[in-house]
């Protein structure tokens, strides 16, 4: 039981790993082969059955003919016996006549079939015999089977089994095999009757000739037995007598007339029995089973060839059909796998049969919908990013504006009108650039200009405690940059670098190109900071560093650059305590066209 369970589990496992084409083709082929096999077995069975009947019919016909011949032969012998009895013995008084002459005449007429004709009296004494007339000295006819059978049943004629005739003294000692036909006769001697036995020794040749050339289907043969199963004739009789062969003759004696199957010495065979009238002998026809199952293996093998070829064709067709069914599914699966890998231009082929077409169509439709949805998501993401940028940019205004205006008020009240005008002018320029008609990406020169104005304001506010040097190196003139990214860094340099430093501060802004990138270094010689602190300034999880100026943190700038151009861009801070700080901004070197595209929300 567990074996079958294991087998079923293994089959299930294998089935799950099989391709659909394999499952289809193997299943169809197995079913077709089983059907064909069943049909073939059925046909063979029907063919065998019909052949068996034909063989039986043929055996019956052959046996009927052999029986007719044998019957005719035996009747002829019986007629000879009748002739001797009714024409000679009954009409003759042995005291007056001799039977030898009439016996001799009959013998001469039938010498091919007869070995001897003899009449014995009731004591076994020889009355007359031809062709030999002397009985062997030690012969005892009374003890012979044929004599005793005739004496026992006086009304009948008796046929013996084949034996070597040993009654008559023949100087040649020919030892002839005969079948003795004996009957009880009434002998007349001196007017009185007495019992006697008439013996007709038929040559065994006669019976042999009747049976010898009879053949049955498939190397079958015929043999003759008496009612006890004793062999009378067999085509290989001497081999049986010599013990080199066996025959099922004893068993066959019990068979009724007709055909039957028997198994003898490991061989199946069809036996047909026909009883020879009067004698009780039986003609037995034997046809080996092979004669109807396969008289020769050729037809069976030809049938096998047809079967195998049919299965071959069926398998071939199944493989083709299953491939036609499964190939579109496989192609569809392949397309989906490519989609899964992220390939954009994948064609969903809508081929194959109706169901597969529908499936492909549904998948194609689903992919199309997914693409639209993904486009929407990308667009929405872009919008969201822009919104975030705008929010970040909007953080600049309130603090810085308040401080600057406060300084202007203070300068105006204190009569520093020239400085106040410069500050207001710079503030106006600052806002004009900051607005930039709503654009987030502006020329680098505008951004540097914006930084310059900012520093003008701060220098006034901090009473020229530091100097600012802004430089754009060659190759950067036509480049574009995200706006308002330098000013927050400068703000940090002012408040954390230079404002509380004792010496005069120097703040340098340098824009230059490095490969495909635009780098803007903002460097001060202020207080500096520990490298760990410098590193933590950009950490999203760290505390927000705000300045006392515009309120835009360094992290804000870093996030804006990263959001706009990707993870590879942004800020790097290099600082040492009392050494100053270098903040490096890395951006893509944008041309006008690229800046425009970026402005429109495309990802570079």
Partner 1 sequence: MKTGKSGLIQGGILAALGLAALLSLVIPQLLRERKDPQLLSLSVLLRDSDSSGWAIARQGMEQAADELGAELRFLTLAEAGDSGEQEAVLLREIDGGAAALVVVPADPGALSAALEQWRLICPAVTLESPMEGAAGTVAPDNALLGRQLAQALLEDWDEGEVLLLDTAGSCTGISGRLEAAEAVLTEAGLPVRRAGELPEGARWVMAFESAATLRTAERREAEGRDFALYGVGAATAVTAQLERGNIAAMAAWSDYAAGYLAVRRAVGAARGEEGTATALPFSVLRKEDIYAPENQKLLFPVMSSSGR
- Contact residues toward partner 1 (CB under 8 A) are 18-19, 21-22, 25, 29, 162-164, 166, 173-177, 204-205, 208-209, 236-239, 241-244, 297-298, 301-302, 304-305, 308-309, 311-312, 315-316, 319, 330
Q: In terms of CB distance, is 33 or 126 closer to partner 1?
A: 33
Q: How far is the CB of 214 from partner 1 (least distance, A)?
A: 15
How crowded is residue 216: how many other Cβ atoms within 10 Å of its Cβ?
21
Two structure tokens written together for 484: 């308002």
Q: Return d(Cα 331, Cα 356) in angstroms, integer.
A: 11
**What beta strand segments (E) does 255-402 contain?**
258-264, 267-275, 282-288
Q: How far is the CB of 283 from partner 1 (least distance, A)?
A: 18
Q: In terms of CB distance, is 241 or 402 closer to partner 1?
A: 241
Q: In terms of CB distance, is 86 or 309 closer to partner 1?
A: 309
Q: How far is the CB of 301 from partner 1 (least distance, A)?
A: 5
- Position of tokens 């049919």? 310
Two structure tokens written together for 408: 């202007």
End-to-end CA separation in angstroms for the chain: 67
Q: Return d(Cα 510, Cα 518) in angstroms, integer.
A: 11
Which positions ≥6 away from 80 have C-beta within 8 Å?
106, 110, 114, 117, 200
Q: How far is the CB of 34 from partner 1 (least distance, A)?
A: 14
Q: Return d(Cα 591, Cα 443) in angstroms, integer.
A: 9
Helix (H, G, I), strand (E, B) or coil at 462: coil
β-strands 480-482, 441-443 pairing: antiparallel
Q: In terms of CB distance, is 84 or 283 closer to partner 1?
A: 283
Q: How far is the CB of 140 from partner 1 (least distance, A)?
A: 11
Q: In terms of CB distance, is 97 or 235 closer to partner 1?
A: 235
Q: In terms of CB distance, is 305 or 368 closer to partner 1?
A: 305
Q: Return d(Cα 113, Cα 410) in angstroms, integer.
A: 169
Q: In terms of CB distance, is 324 or 465 closer to partner 1?
A: 324
Q: Return d(Cα 466, Cα 458) in angstroms, integer.
A: 9
Two structure tokens written together for 431: 């806002």
Report yes or no: 88 and 99 within 8 Å, Cβ to Cβ: yes
Q: How far is the CB of 567 from partner 1 (least distance, A)?
A: 37
- Position of tokens 């309120």? 551
Q: How far is the CB of 327 from partner 1 (least distance, A)?
A: 9
Q: How far is the CB of 141 from partner 1 (least distance, A)?
A: 13
Q: In terms of CB distance, is 242 or 391 closer to partner 1?
A: 242
Beta-ladder partners of 573: 583
């Amino acid at each position: 039981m567990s074996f079958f369970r294991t087998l079923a589990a293994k089959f299930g496992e294998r089935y799950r790993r099989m391709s659909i084409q394999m499952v289809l083709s193997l299943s169809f082929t197995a079913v077709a082969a089983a059907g064909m096999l069943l049909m073939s077995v059925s046909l063979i069975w029907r063919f065998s059955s019909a052949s068996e009947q034909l063989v039986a019919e043929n055996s019956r016909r052959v046996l009927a003919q052999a029986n007719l011949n044998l019957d005719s032969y035996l009747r002829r012998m019986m007629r000879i016996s009748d002739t001797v009895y009714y024409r000679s013995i009954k009409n003759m008084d042995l005291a007056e006549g001799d039977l030898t002459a009439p016996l001799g005449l009959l013998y001469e007429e039938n010498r091919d079939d007869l070995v001897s004709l003899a009449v014995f009296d009731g004591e076994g004494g020889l009355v007359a015999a031809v062709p030999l007339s002397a009985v062997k000295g030690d012969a005892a006819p009374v003890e012979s089977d044929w004599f005793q059978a005739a004496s026992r049943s006086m009304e009948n004629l008796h046929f013996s089994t084949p034996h070597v005739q040993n009654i008559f003294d023949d100087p040649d000692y020919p030892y002839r095999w005969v079948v003795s036909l004996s009957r009880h006769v009434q002998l007349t001697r001196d007017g009185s009757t007495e019992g006697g036995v008439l013996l007709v020794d038929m040559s065994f040749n006669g019976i042999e000739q009747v049976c010898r050339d009879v053949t049955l289907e498939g190397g079958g043969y015929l043999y003759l037995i008496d009612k006890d199963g004793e062999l009378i004739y067999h085509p290989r009789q001497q081999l049986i007598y010599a013990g080199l062969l066996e025959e099922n003759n004893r068993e066959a004696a019990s068979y009724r007339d007709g055909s039957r199957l028997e198994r003898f010495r490991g061989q199946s065979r069809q036996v047909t029995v026909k009883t020879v009238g009067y004698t009780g002998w039986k003609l037995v026809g034997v046809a080996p089973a092979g004669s109807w199952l396969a008289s020769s293996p050729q037809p069976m093998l030809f049938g096998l060839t047809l079967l195998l070829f049919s299965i071959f064709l069926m398998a071939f067709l199944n493989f083709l059909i299953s491939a036609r069914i499964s190939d579109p599914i496989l192609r569809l699966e392949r397309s989906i796998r490519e989609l899964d890998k992220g390939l954009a231009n994948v064609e969903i082929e809508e081929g194959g049969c109706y169901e597969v077409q529908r499936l492909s169509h549904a998948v194609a439709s689903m992919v199309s919908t997914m693409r639209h949805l993904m486009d929407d998501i990308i667009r929405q993401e872009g919008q969201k990013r822009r919104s975030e940028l705008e929010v970040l940019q909007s953080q600049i205004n309130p603090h810085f504006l308040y401080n600057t205006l406060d300084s202007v008020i203070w300068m105006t009240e204190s009569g520093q009108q020239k400085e106040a005008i410069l500050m207001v002018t710079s503030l106006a320029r600052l806002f004009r650039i900051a607005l930039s008609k709503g654009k987030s990406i502006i020329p680098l020169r505008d951004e540097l200009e914006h930084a310059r104005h900012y520093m003008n304001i701060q220098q006034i506010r901090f009473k020229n405690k530091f100097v600012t040097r802004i430089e754009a190196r060659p190759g950067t003139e036509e480049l574009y940059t995200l706006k308002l990214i330098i000013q927050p860094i400068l703000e940090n340099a002012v408040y954390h670098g230079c404002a509380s430093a004792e010496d005069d501060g120097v703040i340098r802004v340098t824009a230059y190109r490095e490969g495909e990138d635009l780098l803007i270094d903002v460097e001060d010689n202020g207080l500096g900071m520990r490298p760990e602190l410098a590193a933590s300034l950009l950490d999203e999880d760290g505390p927000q560093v705000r300045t006392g100026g515009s309120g835009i943190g360094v992290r804000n700038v870093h996030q804006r650059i990263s959001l706009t151009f990707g993870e590879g861009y942004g800020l790097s801070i290099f600082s040492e305590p009392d050494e100053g700080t270098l903040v490096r901004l890395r951006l893509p070197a944008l041309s006008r066209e690229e800046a425009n595209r970026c402005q429109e929300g495309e990802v570079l």
